[in-house]
Amino acid sequence: MKRGFCLASQSPRRAELLRQAGFDFWTYEPKVDESAVPGERPADLTERLSVKKAAAAVRAADAEGEHPVCLGSDTVVVLDDTILGKPIDDADAFEMLQCLSGRSHEVVTAVTVARGDWRESRRVTSTVTFCRLSEDVIRAYCDTPEPYDKAGAYGIQGFGGSFVASLSGSYSAVMGLPLYETTVLLALAGIHPGWKENRRNE
């Protein structure tokens, strides 16, 4: 059996955060429908999707005779109860950033850890306030690759971090994975970062 656990995501940001925290893992790309159910609240959507992603990885591993711990996560950006997904083109990214300019929005991230029929989830809501953005700044940002694979059309860990006037909540959750809650859930499943494992084995 492989060491560590399975990250049910191809997000380079989630992988970066887990490596930063000292975890050993491998990745699996879950194929799940991420459409919202009519009337579904954003926080419920993101938790449901995190569960679906973790469960998809569990099923794939079980089919190969493996029974690892699997981690799924999902993040949504919410402005005035409207979910802002990943922009489909320049115009979409520009419009999203105009809407976020000078205002506060919520970033809701859920994480689920599963093994077999067992699963536990946590969700974290952070409030991000943007400074006012001129049209020139938005256009320049949209000329970079950064907005196009991210919910809300910005990356807090990249150039978009300079737009953030204030943040209340979890920086890592806004990036895509709440590290504190993730570490707690993995510990429940017996998974610890390498630097802790080394001390435990002394």
Rounded CA gap, 21 and 194, in Å?
9
- What pLDDT, on a 0 to 100 scale, did the predictor assign at position 1? 44
Q: What is the pLDDT of residue 105?
A: 98
Residues belonging to the active site: 74
Structural domains of the chain ordered from first start: 5-200 (3.90.950.10)
pTM score above 0.85: yes
Cα(77)–Cα(150) distance, integer angstroms: 9
Q: Is the pLDDT of residue 36 over 90?
A: no
CB under 8 Å to 202, separation ≥6 — which residues? none
Q: How far apart, in whole angstroms, are the C-alpha atoms of residue 191 and residue 171? A: 23
Token pair for 6: 């399975």
pLDDT at 163: 98
Over residues 93-136, the pLDDT tens digits come to 999 999 999 999 999 999 999 999 999 999 999 999 999 999 99
Residue that has been written with the tokens 């959750």 in this structure: 173
- HEC states along 139-165? HHHHCCCHHHHCHHHCCCCCHHHHHEE
At residue 153, does pLDDT exceed 90? yes
pLDDT band (50, 70, 90) for residue 2: low
